[in-house]
């Protein structure tokens, strides 16, 4: 079956198969969508979506900072992302810019831990040219040493942009403490020393690009006012000649953690509210094993119940006692084991360097302990489930929003099916599973803590 | 059941946008009515169950509700700067007559709903967003907050403490780029009613009370100065429900003294904000007597977009400063007050202003290159005014903007927010009008408009930097400030040495008395500009 015929058949099958399930249970993605591999291994996802004549194209390469080799400056994946704007073989930087300008296109790129994504939104009539240009710059990237040195300087500028933010500093400290060996141990842009060394890392960046920018390591997502079979055929025409295969990758094995790490405290040179991070080691979503998704989903519900915006802890710290200006929790989707992170800002006007930051972190630890003692409240579990679906839905407010919502899942082994797997796991979470996940993961031996504030004792 | 689903699908298939300006109430000040950009929706009622689930293969499954009042920071009482913003934040993030703040948050939680409220200089905006199937539940919370706010003392303290922290720690201490841009607003509008930021001042906030906020709400949130809109896949009865609820607010519109135009920029002035920082963040600009409703707006838009459209690699400043020299992460130019819509190149709606300024944003550079970067931007601005834009580049830039107009309203909320801003400017159907004006521009009419409105030797700038005295010496000495090696970068390409000489020696026209140094901690304390205060 050729690709176009396959799409037509698929669309019909989905229309039949999906309707009853949706009627019973609003899904996270209320659109027909499916993933398909081209002969060269490239995955293609097309989502028809009413968007006033626009189309969003996202190319997600599973080449995030996770894959960066030891011995080279961190930040190679991010540097390659920058080099993509220097163009390819047929479209140099100026020709690429001219094309995108002529379409009035919005272009953006993002380097994450597990993937690097390139996003273009343009009139749907320009889809063929957008795909051609994206394929050219990503599969035949121009990579001169001179351009690389200039781009490395611009990356230093990007690094400077965040240098004034104590929250960025705290998160960077946390990563370093949690993952001393691997690519999760630093923000994708790298640490200050890495960014300073980047101008000399041309060969390493080129090698990174050649190794990991391969068709079996990428997904093209097309969302918008498109006819699916035609869109898929255009992707095949543009990217079909891409060849090669990404090697297998074994992430470095971090040593086991058997005791709390931190609290590491860092002094901040100007007045700031204390930034307090309390994190626990958490499971990744790498395996096709439903048990991994179940564990992830149960822990996700647990941390949301314990530290989320309507948790008893948030009510106590941020509303009633007002010791914290804000409290937020995140269990991000990652391929390998990562972290559940609670981030608090202390209330302004408290004594700098005083005990308040330590009180905040112990309040978080106590709330975690409470979560291990009894099953969660069933109605609250249902509320978290509902919120997860609702927040996913809210991302779907534009074609690019749809592509960005799907991106982290397409980068997991199993691709887009991992979203359905997560959704099923979320639907099946029980109050007992939430308690069990809290007891398994939110333990003292897995905790890592960081405080950044003015007047903090520097270790 | 299946019939209901189909009807819902059809209704949701049309891009849904209802926009209602003013309220058809006795005693209301009539307002110009809108031409809705698209047909209003008539979706099935979201009565729960499968009817409310948007069907596959359709548009955005979300709803946005915006309510705007013509009240803002220009209405702050003297000595209580920030009261408009406090009131907006308290209404959006407080309790209602019947339920406390946290109880309302618990209602928003499972539906993924958010309610935001802020005051700008002349308007106050509330935005409620949620997935479409939760539109009714979302509006119930918005309604209770807007129409029957509680003004609880504890809520007030919580909201005020966040607002003080945003000024006194976040802006002063944690975001140098925004710091430079916001202080530029103060410098440009120093003698105007825009002279304090909408967020207020530390002392003005301290002097405000819950009763002040309640009084401000009662006197100034009126049926006659309100407008609202709904976008996305909303239930058909929602607009009428909002209209009826807003009609319960006091009728008429509060009086406001007309705003005078801002004075044109005089001789150049620079404020250096001194604070520990590894880099120098720069913003420069000047008032312009042109807003979106003005016939010359299209010309300024093309020119500033050509110099540097926000977060795009197409602009001249970006190419010269970032791509060719690696000085920083980006360099952009703006024809009007610009609030970022995070992660995109588009401005966030809900900040319309009758008094405008044009500006250039130079993202942080190495401190040694601050003077060079400022001079380079001024030199490029001068070239644009003096020589205009080469015809081919003009055509390309104009085409780019015309093609972009659809992207400016990609999401239901962007679409709605833009249309409500259009009402402020008195230009309903603003994008179509802008498109027509862009189509009519020529390089010659563009340059004539630039000459009418811009002068490259009349500007204000703000630099956030660590070693202020050294920078002041560089700025007033008149000596060239050549580019320092760009952090390990090798030589670039093209005619950089010649252009470098031009940039490095660009005349700034600054003397010691026109370069002020202020510590970051002195900012935003009162409505008096700290650089005018005598030690």
- Are residue B305 and residue B356 in the same domain, yes or no? yes
Model confidence at B3, in pLDDT bands (50, 70, 90)?
very low
pLDDT tens by residue, A315-328: 999 999 999 999 99
**Interface with A, mutate which of B59, B105, B163 (most A CBs under 10 A):** B59
In which element (H, E) is residue A212 found? Answer: helix A202-212
- Work out the pLDDT band at A1, boundaries 50, 70, 90: very low
In angstroms, the CA A235 to CA A216 distance is 14
Percent of chain B's residues with pLDDT above 90: 78
In a domain, B326, yes or no: yes
Nearest CA in chain B to A396: B60
- Express each pLDDT in B169-178 by its tens digit: 999 988 999 9
Percent of chain A with pLDDT over 90: 78
pLDDT exceeds cutoff 80 at A349: no
- Is residue B152, in this structure, part of any structural domain at all? yes
- Name all domains of chain A by residue range, CATH numbers in brackets: 3-7+32-239 (3.30.830.10), 261-453 (3.30.830.10)
- Judge whether B374 and B472 are in contact, CB under 8 Å: no
Nearest to B110 among A165, A387, A396 (CB): A387
Give percent above pLDDT 70 in chain A: 92
Q: What is the pLDDT of residue A163?
A: 83
Inform me whether the pLDDT recorded for B208 exceeds 70: yes
Looking at chain A, which residue has its C-alpha nearest residue B155? Answer: A319
Q: What is the pLDDT of residue A18?
A: 32
Instruction: Please give the pLDDT value at position B40.
Output: 29
For residue B484, pLDDT beyond 80? yes
Question: Does the residue B442 lie in any domain?
Answer: yes
- The yes-or-no verdict on residue B335 having pLDDT over 60 is yes
Q: What is the pLDDT of residues A301-347, one digit of tens each?
A: 999 999 999 999 999 999 999 999 999 999 999 999 999 999 999 98
- For residue B385, what is the enclosing H or E element? helix B370-387
Check CB contact under 8 Å for B405 and A196.
Answer: no
**Region A427-446: what's the mean pLDDT?**
96
B280 and B201, same domain (yes or no): no
Residue reference for tokens 């510590």: B519
Does pLDDT of B328 surpass 90? yes
Q: Mark whether B242 and B273 lie in a shared domain.
A: no
Does B256 reside within a domain? no
How many structural domains compose chain B? 2
Q: In chain B, what percentage of residues exceed pLDDT 70?
A: 87
Q: Is residue B181 part of a domain?
A: yes
How sure is the predictor about A30, in pLDDT bands with cuts at 50, 70 and 90? confident
Same-domain status, B182 and B307: no
Per residue in B7-47, pLDDT (tens digit) is: 222 222 223 455 554 443 322 322 332 222 222 222 222 22
Average pLDDT, chain B: 87
Residue B5 above 90 pLDDT? Answer: no
Residue B262 lies in a domain: no
Residue B253 belongs to some domain of the structure: no
Tens digits of per-residue pLDDT, B355-413?
999 999 999 999 999 999 999 999 999 999 999 999 999 999 999 999 999 899 899 99
Burial grade of B68 (CB within 10 A; 0-12, 13-18, 19 or more): buried
Instruction: With CB atoms and an 8 Å threshold, state whether A149 touches B490.
Output: yes
Q: Which of A58, A96, A105, A160 to mutate to test the interface with B (most CBs of B within 10 A)?
A: A160
Contact status, residue A285 vs residue A338, Cβ threshold 8 Å = no
Shared domain check, B399 and B347: yes
Q: Which of A101, A156, A394 sits opposite B131 (nearest CB)?
A: A394
Residue A157 and residue B520: Cβ atoms within 8 Å?
no
Going across the sheet that includes B17-21, the strands are B17-21, B226-232, B62-69, B124-131, B114-119
B307 and B347 together in one domain? yes
Q: Are B286 and B321 in contact (CB under 8 A)?
A: no
DSSP A22-41: HHHS--S--S---EEE-TTS
For residue B3, give how far its alpha carbon lies from the nearest alpha carbon of chain A (Å): 13
Q: Which two tokens stand for residue B452?
A: 């009418």
Give me B51's structure tokens.
């009817």
Do residues B193 and B309 both lie within one domain?
no
The pLDDT tens digits of the residues spanning B122-151 come to 999 999 999 999 999 999 999 999 999 999
* CA–CA distance, A285 with B21 (Å, rounded to integer): 49
Are B113 and B149 in the same domain?
yes
Q: What is the pLDDT of residues A377-429, one digit of tens each?
A: 999 999 999 999 999 999 999 999 999 999 999 999 888 888 989 999 999 99
pLDDT digits (tens, 9 = 90+) for A41-99: 999 999 999 988 999 999 999 999 999 998 899 999 999 999 999 999 999 999 999 99
Structure tokens at B386: 């003096």
The ipTM of this complex is 0.93
- pLDDT recorded at residue B491: 47
Average pLDDT over residues A21-41: 72
DSSP structure string for B176-242: HHHHHHHHHHHHHTTTSTT-S-TT--HHHHHT--HHHHHHHHHHHS-GGGEEEEEEES--TTHHHHH
Tell me the mean pLDDT in the region B62-86: 97
- B127 and B187 share one domain: yes
Q: What does the radius of gyration of chain A's CA atoms come to, in whole angstroms?
A: 23
Domain that holds residue B90: 2-246
In this complex, the residue of A101, A150, A401 whose CB is nearest that of residue B400 is: A101
Q: Is the pLDDT of residue A9 over 90?
A: no
Contact B21, B242 (CB under 8 A): no
pLDDT at A33: 80
Lowest-confidence range among A436-440, B332-336, B492-496? B492-496
Q: What is the mean pLDDT of chain A?
A: 90
Separation between Cα atoms, residue A187 and residue A208, nearest integer Å: 17
Together in a domain, B321 and B455: yes
Taking every pair of C-alpha atoms in chain A, what is the biggest distance, in angstroms?
A: 70
How many angstroms away from the CA of A280 is the closest CA of chain B?
Answer: 24
CATH number at residue B82: 3.30.830.10
> CB distance B129–A394 less than 8 Å?
yes
B430 shares its domain with B507: yes
- A24 vs B contacts (CB less than 8 Å): 50
Bridge-based pairing state of the strands B280-288 and B114-119: unpaired
On whether any CB of chain A is under 8 Å from the CB of B497, the answer is no
Give the chain A residue nearest B109 (alpha carbons). A387
Residue B53 confidence (pLDDT) above 80: no
Q: How confident is the model at residue A291 (pLDDT cuts 50, 70, 90)?
A: confident
Instruction: Indicate if the pLDDT at residue B343 is higher than 90.
Output: no
The answer to whether the CB atoms of B109 and A383 lie below 8 A apart is: yes
> How many whole angstroms separate alpha carbon A232 and alpha carbon A226?
10
Q: Are strands B515-519 and B269-274 parallel, antiparallel or unpaired?
A: parallel
Q: Is residue B146 within 8 Å of B126, Cβ to Cβ?
A: yes
Q: Does the pLDDT at position B535 exceed 60?
A: no
Angle at B258 between CA B253 and CA B262, to 5 degrees: 140
How far, in Å, CA of B25 to CA of A376, rounded? 50
* pLDDT reported for residue A347: 87
Look at B62 and A394 and tell me if their CB atoms are within 8 Å. Answer: yes
Task: Name which of A77-81, A100-104, B26-30, B481-485 the model is least confident about.
Answer: B26-30
All residues of chain B having their beta carbon less than 8 Å from the beta carbon of residue A383 are 109-110
* Radius of gyration in angstroms for the set of CA atoms belonging to chain B, rounded to a whole number: 24
Higher-confidence position of B520 and A354: B520
Same domain? For B109 and B199 the reply is: yes
CA distance B323 to B136: 49
Q: Is residue B407 part of a domain?
A: yes
Q: Could you count the other beta carbons within 10 Å of the beta carbon of residue B264?
A: 12
C-alpha dist (Å) from residue A222 to A18, A49, A403, B54, B416: 20, 10, 7, 20, 25
């Amino acid at each position: 079956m050729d690709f176009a015929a396959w799409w037509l058949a698929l669309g019909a099958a989905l229309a039949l198969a999906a309707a009853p399930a949706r009627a019973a249970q609003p899904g996270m993605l209320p659109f027909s969508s499916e993933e398909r591999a081209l002969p060269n291994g490239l995955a293609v996802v097309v989502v028809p979506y009413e968007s006033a004549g626009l189309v969003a194209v996202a190319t997600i390469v599973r080449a995030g900072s996770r894959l960066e080799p030891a011995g080279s400056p961190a930040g190679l994946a991010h540097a390659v992302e920058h080099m993509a704007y220097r163009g390819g073989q047929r479209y140099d930087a100026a020709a690429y810019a001219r094309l995108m300008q002529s379409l009035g296109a919005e272009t953006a790129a993002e380097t994450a831990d597990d993937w690097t994504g390139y996003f273009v939104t343009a009139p749907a009539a320009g889809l063929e040219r957008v795909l051609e240009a994206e394929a050219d710059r990503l599969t035949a990237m121009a990579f001169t040493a001179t351009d690389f040195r200039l781009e490395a300087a611009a990356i230093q500028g990007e690094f400077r942009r965040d240098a004034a933010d104590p929250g960025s500093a705290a998160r960077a400290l946390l990563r370093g403490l949690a993952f001393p060996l691997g690519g999760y141990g630093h923000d994708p842009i790298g640490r200050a020393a890495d960014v300073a060394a980047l101008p000399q890392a041309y060969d390493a960046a080129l090698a990174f690009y050649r190794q990991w920018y391969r068709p079996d390591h990428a997904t093209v997502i097309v969302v918008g006012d498109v006819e699916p079979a035609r869109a898929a055929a255009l992707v095949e025409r543009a990217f079909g000649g891409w060849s090669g295969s990404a090697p297998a990758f074994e992430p470095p094995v971090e040593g086991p953690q058997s005791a709390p790490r931190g609290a590491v405290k860092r002094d901040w040179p100007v007045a700031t509210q204390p930034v307090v991070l309390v994190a626990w080691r958490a499971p990744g979503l790498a395996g096709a094993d439903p048990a991994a998704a179940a564990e992830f989903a149960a822990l996700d519900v647990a941390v949301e119940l314990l530290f989320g915006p309507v948790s008893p802890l948030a009510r106590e710290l941020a509303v009633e006692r007002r010791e914290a200006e804000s409290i937020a929790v995140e269990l991000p989707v990652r391929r390998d084991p990562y972290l559940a992170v609670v981030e608090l800002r202390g209330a302004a006007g408290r004594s700098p360097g005083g005990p308040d930051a330590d009180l905040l972190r112990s309040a978080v630890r106590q709330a975690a302990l409470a979560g291990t003692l009894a099953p969660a409240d069933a109605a609250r579990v249902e509320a978290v489930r509902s919120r997860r679906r609702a927040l996913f839905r809210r991302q779907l407010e534009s074609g690019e929003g749809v592509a960005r919502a799907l991106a982290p899942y397409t980068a997991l082994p199993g691709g887009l099916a991992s979203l359905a797997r997560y959704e099923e796991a979320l639907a099946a979470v029980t109050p007992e599973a939430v308690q069990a996940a809290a007891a398994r993961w939110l333990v003292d031996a897995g905790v890592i803590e960081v405080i950044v504030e003015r007047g903090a004792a520097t270790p | 059941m299946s019939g209901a689903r189909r009807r819902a699908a059809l209704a949701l298939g049309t891009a849904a946008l209802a926009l209602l300006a003013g309220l058809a109430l006795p005693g209301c000040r009539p307002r110009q009515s809108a031409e809705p950009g698209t047909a209003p929706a008539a979706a099935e009622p979201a009565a729960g169950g499968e009817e409310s689930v948007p069907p596959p293969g359709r548009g955005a499954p979300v709803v946005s509700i915006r309510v705007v009042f013509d009240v803002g920071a220009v209405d702050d009482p003297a000595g209580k700067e920030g009261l408009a913003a406090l009131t907006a934040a308290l209404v959006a993030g407080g309790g209602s007559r019947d339920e406390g703040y946290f109880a309302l948050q618990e209602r928003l939680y499972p539906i993924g709903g958010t309610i935001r409220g802020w005051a700008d200089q002349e308007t106050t905006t509330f935005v409620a967003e949620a997935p479409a199937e939760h539109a009714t539940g979302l509006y119930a919370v918005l309604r209770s907050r807007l129409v029957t706010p509680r003004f609880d003392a504890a809520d007030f303290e919580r909201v005020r403490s966040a607002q003080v922290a945003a000024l006194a720690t976040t802006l002063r201490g944690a975001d140098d780029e925004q710091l430079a841009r916001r202080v530029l607003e103060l410098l440009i509008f120093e003698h105007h009613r825009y002279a304090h930021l909408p967020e207020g001042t530390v002392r003005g906030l301290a002097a405000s009370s819950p009763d002040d906020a309640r009084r401000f709400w009662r006197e100034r949130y009126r049926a006659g100065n309100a407008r609202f809109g709904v976008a996305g896949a909303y239930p058909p009865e929602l607009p009428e429900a909002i209209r009826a609820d807003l009609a319960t607010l006091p009728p008429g519109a509060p009086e406001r003294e007309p705003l005078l135009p801002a004075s044109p920029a005089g001789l150049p002035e620079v404020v250096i904000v001194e604070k520990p920082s590894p880099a120098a963040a720069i913003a420069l600009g000047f008032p312009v007597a042109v807003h979106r409703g003005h016939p010359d707006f299209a010309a300024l838009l093309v020119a500033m977009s050509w110099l540097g459209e926000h977060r795009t690699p197409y602009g001249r400043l970006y190419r010269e400063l970032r791509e060719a020299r690696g000085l920083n992460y980006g360099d952009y130019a703006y024809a009007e007050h610009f609030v970022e819509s995070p992660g995109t190149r588009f401005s966030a709606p809900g900040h319309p202003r009758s008094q405008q300024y044009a500006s250039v944003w130079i993202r942080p550079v190495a401190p040694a290159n601050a003077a060079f970067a400022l001079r380079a931007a001024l030199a490029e601005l001068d070239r644009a005014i003096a020589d205009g834009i080469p015809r081919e580049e003009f055509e390309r830039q104009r085409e780019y903007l015309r093609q972009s107009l659809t992207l400016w309203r990609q999401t239901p909320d962007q679409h709605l927010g833009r249309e409500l801003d259009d009402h402020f400017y008195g230009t309903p159907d603003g994008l179509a009008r802008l498109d027509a004006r862009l189509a009519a521009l020529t390089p010659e009419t563009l340059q004539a408009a630039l000459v009418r409105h811009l002068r490259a030797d009349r500007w204000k700038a703000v630099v956030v930097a660590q070693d202020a005295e050294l920078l002041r010496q560089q700025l007033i000495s008149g000596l060239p400030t050549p580019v320092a090696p760009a952090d390990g970068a090798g030589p670039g390409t093209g005619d950089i040495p010649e252009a470098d000489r031009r940039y490095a020696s660009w005349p700034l026209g600054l003397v010691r008395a026109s370069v002020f140094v202020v510590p970051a901690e002195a900012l935003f304390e009162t409505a008096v500009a700290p650089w005018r205060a005598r030690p």
